[in-house]
Structure formats: C-alpha cells, structure tokens
Amino acid sequence: MEKNGKGSGVLKRIAGPVVTAVGLDAHMYDVVKVGREALMGEVIKIKGEQTIIQVYEDTSGIRPGEPVVNTGLSLTVELGPGLLTSIYDGIQRPLSVLVEKMGPFIERGVSAPGLSREKKWEFKPLVKIGDSVSPGSIIGEVQETNIVHRVMIPPNVKGGKVKSIRGGAFTVEEVVCTLDSGAEIMMMQRWPVRIPRPVKEKMNPTIPLITGQRILDGLFPIAKGGTAAIPGPFGSGKTVTQQQLAKWSDAEIVVYIGCGERGNEMTEVLTEFPELEDPKTGKPLMERTVLIANTSNMPVAAREASVYTGITIAEYFRDMGYDVSLMADSTSRWAEAMREISSRLEEMPGEEGYPAYLAARLSEFYERAGLVTTLNGDSGSVSVIGAVSPPGGDFSEPVTQNTLRIVKVFWALDAKLSQRRHFPAINWLNSYSLYLGTLHDWYDKEVSPEWNVIRSWAMEVLQKEAELQEIVQLVGSDALPEAEQVTIEVARMIREIFLQQNAYDAVDTFCDMSKQYDMLKAIKTFSDLAYAAQSAGVPPQQIATIKAKNDLPQIKFIKDYQPELARILTQMDVEFTTMRAGA
C-alpha cells in the first residue's frame, strides 16, 4: 500500500542509525525500507524535501544514493493467537524464527512475521449469524496454552450484524467471520504501536496487585492498573525483584520487556523464565508470558520500539478482560537511546544531554497503564512497573526524577541494604505509594479492619528507628532511654522478620495477605507487652532475651504456620507475665 506520489527516494546522509533521504513522499512515523538490503526504518522528522529516518538495524556499509522505499504503513504489531510463550526482538520479530533463518547472530534486512502463518488454531464461535457486534466485541475464542484467547472485532472496524461465522482449525490470516458491512474478520489484527488502543472508560484503581512480597504488599502497594518504578544501582536486585513480580503477582498475563539490558542479564531471563513454574497452574510460567528481548548491543533505535511494542501487546490482552502486568527493564536504556537519536538529529539538548521531550515520552508510556472498561463492557487492567538504572545510583538524575513525577509507587532499591544481604533491598524510608488511600477500604474488607492501623504503626516505628540511629552511632544504644531501646528492638524485628524475604525459599518466596497480617500483628503484640514490661521496671536487655521472640522468625519458613504461631504467642505471654512478676 503506497501513498500517492513518489513511493521511493534516495539516501543523502547517514549518521549512525539516523539517515536522511530526499525525494521521498512520506508522513510522520511511516515505516520505510532503507538501502539495497531493505533495512527497516521509521520516519521521525520531515524537513522540506528531506525525510529523516531512524533505522532499527545496523547501518554500517550503506551509502548515499541507495534507494529508500516507503511502505505507507506506520509501525504496527500483529495481535492474535501465538503471542503467548513467544520471545520477540524490539520490532516483533520472533527470535526462534530468526535463529532458524540465520543462526545465533541476527543479520540485517531479515524480516519475519510476528505470528506464525502456518500454525492452525481451533476457533470456537461465541456469536451466531444475525447477532449485532461492535468494535471490541468478542466473537469467539481459542484455547492458547492455559489462557483462553478471545478473538475480538478490531477497534478500527465498523460494527454490524454477523453475516457468516464458522468454527474449526484456521490460520491467523483466514477469515472466520464476515459482517453485513462487508468487513472480514480474521483471528489476527494489526495495531500501530504509538497509538493507545481505545477504551470506553478509565477508572480509579481500587484493588491491589498482590505480589506476595511483604514490603510491597504490606508497606508500598501498587493497584491493578497502577504505575510503579524500581530505581536502583547495579547489583541491588532490580531483575530478581521484577522476576518475583512476574512470577507471583496475581495478574493473568505478564509482558516482560528487556530494553537495552546487558546480554548476560537478558540471557538469564530467557533461560530462567521458560523453566519457572506458574504457581497457579503448575505449568511453565512462559504459558502466560510474552518476552521482548532487546539487548544493549542491538541497534539503539529498536529500544524505543520495544517499549511501545510491549505496551501495545499488553493493551490487547487488557481488551480481552485480563489483568496484565508489564515489566520494563529498564527505561533508562530507552532514555539513553532517545538521547543518542536526539543528538544525531542535532536537537537542542536538555538536562544531561537528554532531549527536552524526555518527560513527555515517559508520560505517554506510563499513561497507557490503567484499570479500564473495555469497548465490550468488560473490565481489564495494565499495571506498568518500570525499572530505572540511574548511573552510580544517583536518584537526582533526569530519568529517575521525571519518572517520579509520573508514577504513583516508588520502590527505591538501596545498594547498602544489598551489601548487608537484606533482600529485597528496598529502602523503606525513601519508598512510597500514593495508592494507600484508594486501597484503604479493600484492606479493611479483605484482610482485616486492623490492617491499616498496624501498617501505619510499623512505618512509624521504622521512621523512629532511623531518627534514633543517628544518636546510637554517636553514643551507643545503652545511652538511650529504656523506652527507646525497646523501640530499636521492635524496629529490628520488623526489618528482620517482616521486611526481609528469601526469594529462593520454597515457602518464603510468596507470602499471602493473611500471613502478612498475622506476622505484623505478632510483632505488634510483642511490642505492646515489651513496653508494658519496661514500664513495670523490666530492663530492655532482659526483654531482648525473650525466647518466643527468637522463635518468631521461623514462621516465615513454615507453610501451615498457624499452630506454631499460636504456641509462640502463648509462650510470649507466659514469659512476659513471669518477667513482670519478678521485676
């Protein structure tokens, strides 16, 4: 499909991934084929007769005078059965297909469709002839892995009455339904990545995304349809945290974007994810996952595309009525790609050389998250969790600061905590969640009416401990008043028992909300008894020797923990009663 006028031009200038063509009739964001090898590129600037293109592949060796052909289409992704379990590059080329075509090293100018054209899927119709359908209506379903793939009328197709529909085994390109308007519906639809998929209504998130990670669910929750950022320096645990979120969060679909990460980290993800077991079904986690791999040695222009490709796939599953969690690791590499392209375009640089539109691009990305009413009236959500890799762990740099202005949850990873082997290494003093107010009622109803009170108490104790630590470092803990020595001991229990969690322990890797509540309440019970004993004259050093207190950490590693917890609480009460009597 070419536009009217000149469908091709010639190369005039080449500057790395940015090339300039003349004589090309094109619109912004048109996809073009560059050079004799037909490298894939996208129009990003039009200046008089000159068309400036960012190329998604290595441009070494191409020369001025080579042809540039406009496809007349914008950058789109293919959406349909076959997305789940797939591993794509930044422009939705399946890596498994590329390996078959050219071996382990990706060559230039090779294209492959995002969805298989040969595989047949068993289509089961859900509407019949004469039924009225509209954009977004579900007309049938395909059993794809353990997820039911709902086949929808594309948002850009006008509705009408079903003229014909058939069940059976079909490829994604075969017509399964026709409408009286003349529209032919296949199981596959295409969508431009830079345009958000339409919805009926965006709603205020009121249900948390349960992750099973105590510091996240307990202190800094994210809502389904919310946005969160995980900034942290090298080695602080961003990738492990994101893998835990992908494995344990109660989202039904996971989209994982490795955007500009080091090859060895991405290899770890690509080898581990297919082996991870989905705790809900016992089947491989990959059966409900789409991976997009765009390593740091791949062309920088494709990094930007990878982020948009991922969010568009997430929106597609959201439109089916699923809750989707999207992990972007890391948005810093995406911003660095923007900075490189911007400098080659000779644009005026902003702070630290990043383009002036950095904040706008980050906002556009995170704004595509949300809890929505879909076009077919169902409810679906996309929760976006973006990792940020600030150079040297400096949170004052532009990408982190601009991300903080947009997202509502901030999980700040701390290198000092990881050096002390405290994992997850999330700093409870720097982190925050702006969803606490909207989730308040859910916790009251689903966990306990006391939950919000106990959570606030735990945060107050941790903040009080941070203030007291400055005095302790100067004069030692023995110089503190006795009540404050008890506070230090209670805060240590919250940190070591509640906040620390072992991702590699079969039981402790996931902690449901009822266990989180019981653990925090047990620490609060110890706190109340300890302050009462201290007021009765029991010295803090003696309070610290309570045997039941030392047994409490074992609760984390016991699956059916209630009998053991009840025994510990009874023993704790007896020990404190005996202690007060002897004071």
Distance CA 32, CA 7 (A): 10
Tell how far CA 311 is from the center of its chain: 10
3-class DSSP assignment, residue 250: coil
Domain ranges of the chain: 8-74, 95-103+113-192, 201-436, 451-582
Lowest-confidence segment of 11-20, 141-150, 279-288, 440-449 by average pLDDT: 279-288
- The pLDDT value given to residue 106: 66
**Cis amide leading into 113 (omega within 30):** no
Residue 329 near residue 124, CB atoms below 8 Å: no
3-class DSSP assignment, residue 9: strand
Distance CA 246, CA 252 (A): 10
Please name every residue paired with 295 in a beta bridge, in sequence order, or none if there are none: 261
In this structure, CATH architecture of domain 8-74? Beta Barrel (2.40)
Distance CA 42, CA 419 (A): 44
What tokens does 98 get? 């590329």
Split at pLDDT 50, 70, 90, the class of 282 is confident
DSSP letters spanning 455-468: HHHHHHHHHHHHHH
Distance CA 546, CA 579 (A): 9
Average pLDDT over residues 405-431: 94
Structure confidence by residue, pLDDT tens digits, 304-336: 889 999 999 999 999 999 999 999 988 998 999
Q: How many CB atoms lie within 10 A of CB 302?
A: 23
The torsion angles phi and psi of 237, rounded to 5 degrees, stand at: 105, 25
Instruction: Give the angle 157-160-163 at the CA atoms, nearest 5°.
Output: 105
Residue 551: CA atoms inside 13 Å, Cβ hemisphere, count? 15
Longest Cα separation, the chain: 97
Split at pLDDT 50, 70, 90, the class of 293 is confident
Residue 41: CA atoms inside 13 Å, Cβ hemisphere, count? 32
What tokens does 178 get? 């026709």
3-class DSSP assignment, residue 497: helix
Query: In this structure, what is the dihedral angle of CA atoms 9, 14, 20, 21, given to the nearest 10 degrees?
Result: -10
Distance CA 146, CA 288 (A): 8
Q: How many CB atoms lie within 10 A of CB 570?
A: 11
Distance CA 176, CA 327 (A): 33
- CATH (residue range 451-582): 1.10.1140.10
DSSP letters spanning 172-232: TTSEEEEETTS-EEES-EEEETTSPPP-SEEE---SB---S-HIIIIIS--BTT-EEEEE-
Distance CA 563, CA 246 (A): 31
The secondary structure element, H or E, covering residue 405 is helix 398-406
3-class DSSP assignment, residue 525: helix
- The pLDDT value given to residue 303: 83
In this structure, CATH architecture of domain 95-103+113-192? Beta Barrel (2.40)
Residue 270 near residue 285, CB atoms below 8 Å: no
Residue 396: CA atoms inside 13 Å, Cβ hemisphere, count? 0
- The pLDDT value given to residue 5: 38
Average pLDDT over residues 32-48: 93
- Whether this model's pTM surpasses 0.85: yes
Split at pLDDT 50, 70, 90, the class of 557 is very high
Residue of 264, 311, 272 lying closest to 292 (CA atoms): 311
At the topology level, CATH places domain 201-436 in: Rossmann fold (3.40.50)
277: pLDDT strictly greater than 90: no
